[in-house]
Structure 1
Amino acid sequence: MPIIRLIDGINEVVGRIVSVVAILFAGIIIYDVVMRYVFGDPTRWAFDVTKQLYGFYFIMLGGYALRHQAHVRVDLVTARLGSGARRLVEALGYLIFFFPFAVIFLRESWKFAMTSWRQGEVTYGAVSLPVYPLKLAMAAAAALLLIQGISEFLKLVLNRTNTPDPEEALDVR
């Protein structure tokens, strides 16, 4: 189904791009450690920057993790069910728990981000970094998580248990 491939493809691309951020914040941490312990000249900005980069990294990979079934799951109930009953329980879980949570998360994170944007909110650490980009990332992550939930729900309803290869997911023809 094209919509499933499109959504999976979007989260695949975002996940691959955002994963590079881990390399960036690891590099900053190594730089700060070398500056602190080798040269005795710690940076004032590294801690604040790595906190924000880690927050960005963590929140933006929610849709990617859901696409690859990497979220923590408690299969105590569904482990003993047949495949049809398991799909039904999982679909109901999306309808009852996931979608209401994702919609509220999107709505509230958007309001949170817009308030931060209007106020020009900055951190209170050693360096005043803008906070609104991270809060905007929360809203974007909520949207990515919601659309990936739609894709996963459609896979359950349409009995599509296998997910396409990442390269195939990017082809929306």
Structure 2
Amino acid sequence: MIVRAIDAISEATGKLSAWCLFAIGFFITFEIVMRYVFNAPTVWVDEISRVLQVWVVYLGVAYVLKHREMVTIEIILSNPDTIWRKLAESFAILVLFIFAGTACYFGFQIWLKATLAGHTTDTYLAPPKMITHAPVWVGSVLLMLQGGVQLYRVWTEGLPEDDILEGQH
């Protein structure tokens, strides 16, 4: 049940990331029309688009891991049924935990400090920095949760059929 819940969260955040990319494209198109057709540029498109791009990256990373679309090198360990492949997959996930755990810990500290102090960005819109700092630790938590699910799968279900077929080509 927990595995399915984490998978569902990763799916939802991945789809949210995709919709945010769509919104960014729409906002930039809107800005181009406003700037070059009506000669009335906006003050918010650039900043909102940048904030959304940061959220896209961190919200989408668990989705990417769930669908096994991270960069992998399988030249030496191409057979997915060996213990060595399972150990290599496990090692990669453990390295991911170290990276994501560090990013989560320090990202949360920076977010908490900015939130409690009421810091804002040094831009025209001046949104709270909590909005720009939160994706780091939120995305890292999501990545660690999905990493735990993937580690569980390596040892209980093995590698997905897609990986096995790709290894034969």
Q: TM-score, normalised by structure 1?
A: 0.84
Q: 1:171 — aligned with what?
A: none
1:1-173 equivalences under 5 Å are 2-79=1-78, 81=79, 83-84=81-82, 85-95=84-94, 97-162=95-160
Bigger mean CA deviation after superposition, 5-14 or 62-71: 5-14
Deviation at 1:159, TM superposition (A): 3.1
Q: Deviations over 1:79-116 (max 9, x none)?
A: 3x552221121112223x12222211211111111111
Question: Following TM superposition, where does structure 1 have runs of at least 4 consecutive aligned residues deviating by more than 4 angstroms?
Answer: none
- Give unpaired runs (5+ residues) of structure 1: 164-173
Question: Higher relative contact order at CA 8 Å, sep ≥6: structure 1 or structure 2?
Answer: 1
Matched residue SS, 1:78: coil
Task: Go from structure 1 to structure 2 and tell me whether the alpha carbon gap of 1:18 and 1:93 turns closer, same or farther (over 3 Å shift).
Answer: closer
- Give unpaired runs (5+ residues) of structure 2: 162-169
Aligned length: 160
Q: 2:66, 2:47 → 1: CA distance?
A: 30
Q: TM-score, normalised by structure 2?
A: 0.85
Asked if 1 retains the 8 angstrom alpha-carbon contact of 2:101 and 2:144, the reply is yes
Asked if 2 retains the 8 angstrom alpha-carbon contact of 1:60 and 1:138, the reply is no
**What is the identity, as a one-letter code, of the residue corresponding to 1:41?**
A
Deviation at 1:139, TM superposition (A): 1.3
Q: 1:166 — aligned with what?
A: none
Asked if 1 retains the 8 angstrom alpha-carbon contact of 2:90 and 2:151, the reply is yes
